[in-house]
Chain A
C-alpha cells in the first residue's frame, strides 16, 4: 500500500490523535429526532439513492444514536454474510396468525387480546361455513 510508505511523523500523529479524539467524542442526539428504521435499514443495504442518502449521512455524522444503530446493523450484516444460517424445517401447513399471536398475547399480557379473539371468531365462522358446504 502506497500510504504505508509514508513516514511523515505529523501524519502518523494526526492519525493517532484523531482516533483518540473520535473515540472520546460524544455526538449529540439532535432534537430533530432520529432516522426512521425503514430508512436506516435501506441505507445499510446500500439501497438509498444519492438524494436520499445525503441527509441520512449528514444526520449520522452528528447523531451518536443513529451512527451506533447503523454500525451495529453493518456488523450484523457482515456477521450473517460470513456465517450461513442453518436450514430449519418449516411447517407444511399454514399456521394461523391467531394461533401464533394468541399465545404471545397471553404470555405478554396475561390474557389474549380482543383482536385475536376476533380472528378466532372469524375462523370459527369460516369452519362453520366449510362444514355447511360439506353437508350440502
Chain B
C-alpha cells in the first residue's frame, strides 16, 4: 500500500507478519472462502492507515498489535469473500446473520412491508449493483472488521431504512426523518411557539436581557465541557437514552469513554459491569461543571453582578415551573 508518510509506511510494513498469521488462521477456519491473502492484507492495511491518521502522533508498536488483535478477522474474511461473490461465504453469511438482519429490520421498521423492503434492499446492496471500472461494488467492501459484522449490519439496516423513507413520495428532510424515526420518535423536544405577552415594556426588556444572558451562559458552559462529557449529556437529555443503555455502551472495559470518565473522577473500577449509578455519578459531575462555568459566564462574559445572576436563576426557575422557559428563551 502506497502511503506518503514514511513513518506510517514503516508501521504498515512492520505489521506484515502479523497480518500474514491472521490470514493463515482465518483461512484455516474457512478454507472454502474465496479471499486471497493480498486482498485480506490490503483491507487491513487500509484500516491500519486510518488508525495511524486518527491522531497527531503515530501509534506505538503495542497499539498496532492491539489494533490487529482486536480485528474481527474471521468476519472480515467472510465479508471479503462475499464481496467476491463466493457462494460458500454467502451461504455462511445467510445462515449465520440473515435471521439477525431480519430481526433488526422488523424491530426498526414501522410495518412488515417496510421491514421486508429493507431486508431485500440490504441484500441487494450487500451484493452490489453498481459497477465501477468493470468491478461490482459490494457493500461488504466497506466492512473493516473493526467491530462485529452484526454491529455493522445493524448500522447498514438503519441507514437503509432512512434512505427508504427519504425516497418515499412525501419526502422529508433528513433532520425531520431522523427525529421521527425508530425508537427516538416522539422523544425529540423542540421549541414551542412564542407566546405574545402583554407585559410592561420595561420589565419585558429587563427579563429579556436576563433570559438572553442565561441562555448564552448556559450554551457557553455546555460548550466548555470535554467532548465525552457533552456526548454523555446529549445522550441522556437529547436522545433520552436510559442510564442502563448508556451503561451498556460503557460496559467494554477498554472503552475509551469509560477511561476518560474514570480518569476525570480519579477512580478505577474492577473492569466489570458499569452500573447505572456510576453513569449517574458521571452525569452529576457534568452538571457540577456546567453550574460552575454557567455562574462564571454570567459574571465575567455577561458582566452581571451576583444579584443579577441570582435574578437569572430565579427567572429560570420560574420559567421552568411554568413550562415555557424555552419559548421565552427563543424570543430573546
Do chains A and B interact in one complex? yes
A18 and B252 in contact (CB under 8 A), knowing A71-B184, A85-B100, A95-B94?
no
Point out the residue from A25, A94, A104 that lies within 8 Å of B238, measured CB to CB: A25
Number of interface residues of A (CB under 8 A): 79
Tell whether A135 is near chain B: CB-to-CB under 8 Å: no
Q: Quick one: given A23-B188, A64-B175, A74-B241, are A18 and B222 in contact (CB under 8 Å)?
A: yes
Known A18-B287, A85-B100, A105-B124; judge A47-B146 contact (CB<8 A). yes
Q: Judging by beta carbons under 8 Å apart, are B287 and A95 in contact? A: no
Stretch with Cβ within 8 A of A (4 or more), from B1-9, B15-23, B85-93: B85-93
Main secondary structure of the interface of B (DSSP, over half): helix
Main secondary structure on A side of the interface with B? helix
Given A10-B313, A85-B100: A22 and B152 interface contact (C-beta under 8 Å): no
Q: Which residue of A lies closest to B295 (CB)?
A: A10
Q: Which residues of A contact B239 (CB under 8 A)?
A: 67-68, 71
Write out the residue numbers on chain B whose beta carbons fall within 8 Å of the beta carbon of A110.
Answer: none
Roughly how many angstroms separate A95 CA and B89 CA in the complex, as a whole number?
11
Chain B positions 117 through 144: 1 when the CB is less than 8 Å from some CB of chain A, otherwise 0: 0001101100101010000100000111
Does B29 reach chain A (CB closer than 8 Å)?
A: no
A15 at the interface (CB under 8 A from B): yes
> In whole angstroms, what is the CA distance A40 to B249 when docked?
12
A contact set with B: CB distance below 8 Å? 1, 3, 6, 9-11, 13-27, 29, 36-55, 57-58, 60-61, 64-65, 67-69, 71-81, 85, 88, 90-91, 94-97, 100-101, 104-105, 107-108, 113, 115, 119
Other than the known A37-B142, A42-B147, what 15 A-B pairs have Cβ atoms closer than 8 Å? Answer: A1-B277, A18-B222, A22-B233, A23-B237, A25-B238, A41-B146, A42-B151, A55-B54, A57-B227, A61-B227, A74-B248, A101-B123, A101-B127, A104-B124, A108-B124
